[in-house]
Structure 1
């Protein structure tokens, strides 16, 4: 049984990825480009925002304005405030799971805090929040999960990762941690050693509680 549980945030704890993708599609409409929010979710879950934007700039042969990211963050914050919900079954799973818990996310720290507060999940993690923007490491680099484990005083083999993105799953396995893939979209993972599941109600039994 793992002593430390490291949760991804977007798509794992909070059902935010479609809202974030809607925000991105809204921003690209200003450039006369139509993006499909559902497709964006599938393609870019867990990615670094600058990497997403660089690829979309290249694919659409455009140059985004300097204020793009700030305007995008503002739209997403408003969407979250109005519509964000916790992932189905996550509250019951968190209540059932023993062990210290942390959030390890590619999103900015303020976005993590905002999302957790809206969804009523902050109490499960307190200050155990690790953002790639604070650490300077993005998934699939395992360093983000290794940093979180070390900061909380645990060895990698005593930690479990719960992530819904292929880049996060890869990071967890390469960090030497038991990794659970919240595979809502029935994707194929080529990463050896991953434990897939499709509903949060399955997680406590899988982890061993």
Structure 2
């Protein structure tokens, strides 16, 4: 690595919690019912990593009409039922977090409520108390760099000393624009081809991450 790592910034959905596989199923049913037939794969390619507002704007553009204020209402309960029933932490990520030798945080386009509930369901919430940052906190969500820069500023670390772990092209774009080093996790719903980009290192298994982070990891964890 070219410079010392002083902060690791994790995305939430798809990186800390394995929620994207569940969300694309629900969103596929929702958007198809609204009149735009999209498969879970289509959803992953178009919307994973973006905010719900971005999704709404794209649906309205495609349909040529505004959506009602409660457009997600009929599916909101279905989503949370699925989260409460099936959500787990991404395999291997807890061990990585517990062995970090530097500060870490989470920066997500999701709301604080969504992060809190999802991390709580996956048993990770206690690890991120006081270090959760949402797109609700900034003017522009990912792929703008605002959220990553906000998280770094709040944690007191210059961007060039931050490492960002993302699973979407939009999150990686935001981190690169912020001047941070990027690692793309390909073990979720997005392919390696979607996550490729200048200076971004791809990996498929969280157990590979300690070997990539180097001195940011404490002794005692297996490094591939």
TM-score under structure 2 normalisation?
0.85
Find the aligned partners of 1:178 and 1:41 in 2 and give their Cα distance. Answer: 24
Quote the residue 2:107 is aligned against: 104
Whether contact under 8 Å (1:3, 1:99) holds in the other structure is: yes
Q: Which of 54, 57, 70 is the equivalent residue of 1:51?
A: 54
Task: Quote how far apart the aligned CAs of 1:190 are.
Answer: 5.4
Deviates more, 1:18-27 or 1:158-167: 18-27
Q: 1:191-202 counterparts in 2 under 5 A?
A: 191-202=197-208
Matched-pair contact (CA < 8 Å) for 1:101–1:124:
no
Which of 185, 198, 209 is the matching residue for 1:203? Answer: 209
Where do 1:22-171 residues align within 5 Å? 22-31=25-34, 33-171=36-174
Post-superposition CA distance 1:13-40 (Å, at most 9, x none):
1111121122222323543554312321
Measured on the aligned residues, the alpha-carbon RMSD in Å equals 1.9
Equivalences, count? 209
Superimposed CA distance per residue, residues 51-92 of structure 1 (whole angstroms, 9 cap, x where no aligned partner):
222222333445422211344443322221111111122122
Q: How far apart, CA to CA, are the structure 1 residues paired with 2:110 and 2:127?
A: 18
- Stretch of structure 1 that moved more, 163-172 or 66-75: 66-75
Unaligned 5+ runs, structure 1: none
TM-score normalized by the length of structure 1: 0.91
